[in-house]
Structure 1
Amino acid sequence: MSSRSLFAMDTVLLLLVLLPIFVAGAVAGTRGFRASNDVLYRRVGLTVLYLAGLFAFLA
């Protein structure tokens, strides 16, 4: 058996840092879109996808 663990320590630390941010974003998104309609949700989603694609294209 190897002395290496299943997860690297830097990966676990990154998880511990980013998990609260992810959960806070999910909660904020749930509360923010609770009263909105499907058209707004679709536009925001497509805008995020467009910006991610544009960033990947330019990078």
Structure 2
Amino acid sequence: MQTKKRDRLGRAHSNGYKAGLTGKTKEKCPYQNTDAKSEWLGGWRDALTDKNLGLFKL
């Protein structure tokens, strides 16, 4: 049970990271569940930080 939950949240984080790298706004978050939405936004913020540090040039 824990593995499925972790994978789902990890996937939400990954999708948020990808969205952040492509320049999508945080309002485009597809999740309604509080935990998944939190993970997605965390990934989105991480991507913006990485872009601002110059790790990615898109």
| TM-score of the superposed pair, with normalisation by structure 2 | 0.40
**Larger Rg over CA atoms:** 1
